[in-house]
Amino acid sequence: MKKFASVIIAAVSLILCFTLSACGNKYVSRYSAMLMVRTNTSNKASVSFDSFSGTYVMQLKNNSADEVFIAYEATLREGNIKVYYDFNDEKLNLFDIEANCSVDSKTETFTGNKTIYIIIESDGKCNDGSFSFVLKKSEE
């Protein structure tokens, strides 16, 4: 009986461990990259790479009730990348970038003390890319 109870307790503990650890991040980064440099603070995020393939996720945090927007810049020498954002539990296209192109723009305004996810997804192997995102107050 003790052995059976120990097995049940171990099984329940294992299930709880896996269940609780999966709740942390809404999106998961899965990529292969060479010479990748990345930074991510609450209001700034950037990534630069020599080669990249896969999905990379960054988080920006609006720590106030102020209206904010994301100013972003991106360049890519080879490949195709789609960039999405998620603010209210909906993954929306932010921009697409192709080979030998650059992007410099800003998003709509966001209101609310929430996390904004930035999701970078490549369509195969990409080379020589740079992406930068900055959360700014609307009155700036």
Is residue 15 included in any domain, yes or no? no
**Do 60 and 114 contact (CB within 8 A), yes or no?**
no
Indicate the pLDDT class of residue 18, thresholds 50, 70 and 90: very low
Is residue 19 included in any domain, yes or no? no
pTM: 0.78
Torsion angle of C-alpha atoms 74, 106, 53, 99, degrees rounded to 10:
-50
Task: Name the residue range of residue 109's domain.
Answer: 26-137
Would you state the structure tokens that stand for residue 121, as one six-digit string? 């997804």
Q: What confidence score (pLDDT) does residue 56 get?
A: 96
Is residue 8 included in any domain, yes or no? no
Is residue 18 included in any domain, yes or no? no
> Rounded to whole angstroms, how far apart are CA atoms 128 and 109?
30
We report the CATH number of the domain holding residue 132 as 2.60.120.260
For the stretch 70-104, pLDDT in tens is 999 999 999 999 999 998 888 999 999 999 999 99
Domain count, the chain: 1
**Do 67 and 49 contact (CB within 8 A), yes or no?**
no
